[in-house]
Structure 1
Amino acid sequence: MDLRGARILVPGATGEIGSALAARLHALGARTALAGRDREALTRVSTACEHAPARTFDAWDADSCAKTVDWAAAELGGLDGVVVCVGVAAFGPAGEVEDAVSEHLMAVNALAPMAFLRAAGDRLPEGGVLAAVTGIVAEAAPARMADYAAAKAALATWLTSVRRERRRQGVTVLEINLPHMDTGFAGRAVVGQAPPLPRGLPVSEAVDVIVRALREGARRVCPGSGAALEVVR
């Protein structure tokens, strides 16, 4: 994808990764539409992106996600890509995680991203990109993270299937499988306390690789053999 002039919706633009990515895309000449939960933070990110169009949405409401896609397409005159950066963590033994918390994790980490990308799929031209952040927990399935890992794994599986469906349309489906990041994300868990974690990857490094993956039409960003992220085409 040529990012200059590309029309890209970034749900989750108020988070550490989403806001940094939105700013980088804007700096590279993309036309961004921003979506997030926190209206005040969304205004700050929009201002930093020269008043890019911005809208709040409710991850609990799949219809709200779909309508945000409609809004972004109207604001930008179409869409070339959607990069979903929403997510929330929880920690604790599976037997102690309440059903309401499990439902919340599935809604935010899986169902909301699916709703965004499903609504955008038929709007994208050849060369367009559907992308979402999953996480290494989807593969590692650590103890005391069962519901969080299951939600991320559900999204990863969905992206794999959709990638096969969209291949003939020339639309790239990118899974952004990130390791622990230096964002304070684990400290904002809806329940529980994170276990001791290694030093997180800097957000700027992740954004560098995500931008490269978007440009190259890659199918995955994932941890490589060393500390660096790798782009898989």
Structure 2
Amino acid sequence: MNISGNTIFIPGSTSGIGLALALALHARGNTVIVGGRRAELLDRIAAEHPGIDTVQVDTTDAASIDSAAKQVLAKHPELNVLVTMAGIMRVEDWHRPESILASAEAVVTTNVLGPIRLIAAFVEHLQAQPDATIVTVSSGLAFTPLKVSPTYNASKAAIHMLSESIRLQLADTTVKVVELEPPAVRTSLLPGQENSDFAMPLDEFVAEVVTLMESQPDAKEIQVERVKFLRYGEARGDYDQVVAMVNASDPHGK
């Protein structure tokens, strides 16, 4: 995608990677619409960052997604980029599945059904634009499993294959499909992760992502250097060693 001149909707971006990316893209000359569940956070973002628009959306709720899509497209008919940012991560112990089932289902609803519903809500509009992009967000853990988060790993692997497949189907349209693959980043995705020495500083991650978007406008996957250890273990032939190292590094494998 081009790095400037876009109109971009980023649901799930009131904090963490989503908000940092929204601010960085706004600074590069894009119109940015931030989406999130909590009205007070959206109001604060709008007040602190003039020029950024906001819309309330719960990406776990199909009706909320449909309503938000109508609002965004009515106000921003030139919208040409969708970033499906919303996601959650939960620690699970599958020795006792009864204790984690509800949490695992919530991960699937947020991380898999959310992006599917968002893409479905916008894809027809995007196909009518002269140049459009869908940015999905998977994870390095789509390619190397972290033992404490089985459903999260699976959800991000699903996003990877969804991205690959939709890209093939939309190859005859103006819509590009780009997969963003973060490593562990210092956010509140898991308790304590924002202070983890194993996680990449948020500002460094977003700066590298924006640089990659600018230097590789036709990239299918946005991979900072730090995620390639996870992404290509199988291709390098050291997958088992990578899995062992990731799961021995600390209690959360970060």
TM range (shorter): 0.7 to 0.9
Q: Distance in 2 between matches of 1:67 and 1:209?
A: 33
Match of 1:141 in 2: 145
- Give 1:104 shift: 0.3
Q: How many residues align?
A: 224
Match of 2:181 in 1: 177
Match of 2:235 in 1: none
Q: Which moved more, 1:11-20 or 1:117-126?
A: 117-126
Match of 2:160 in 1: 156
Match of 2:240 in 1: none
Instruction: Map 1:5-154; keep pairs closer than 5 Å.
Output: 5-97=5-97, 98-124=100-126, 125-154=129-158
Normalising to structure 2: TM-score of the pair? 0.79
User: Residues 76 and 163 of structure 1: is their aligned pair in 2 closer, same or farther, counting only changes over 3 Å?
Assistant: same
Higher helix share: 2
State the one-letter code of the partner of 1:219.
Answer: K
Structure 1 alignment gaps of length 5 or more: 189-193
- Give 1:46 shift: 2.1
Q: Distance in 2 between matches of 1:42 and 1:204?
A: 21
User: Residues 103 and 51 of structure 1: is their aligned pair in 2 closer, same or farther, counting only changes over 3 Å?
Assistant: same
After the TM superposition, list the runs of 4 or more consecutive aligned residues in structure 1 that deviate by more than 4 angstroms: 225-230
- Give 1:223 shift: 4.7
User: Residues 224 and 36 of structure 1: is their aligned pair in 2 closer, same or farther, counting only changes over 3 Å?
Assistant: same
Match of 1:199 in 2: 198
> Aligned to 1:180, what secondary structure does the other structure show?
coil
Q: Distance in 1 between matches of 2:74 and 2:229?
A: 38
Q: Distance in 2 between matches of 1:96 and 1:55?
A: 39
Identity in percent: 25
Match of 1:208 in 2: 207
Match of 2:242 in 1: none
> Aligned to 1:94, what secondary structure does the other structure show?
coil
> Aligned to 1:45, what secondary structure does the other structure show?
helix
Match of 1:220 in 2: 221
The structure that has the greater radius of gyration is 2
Structure 2 alignment gaps of length 5 or more: 232-254
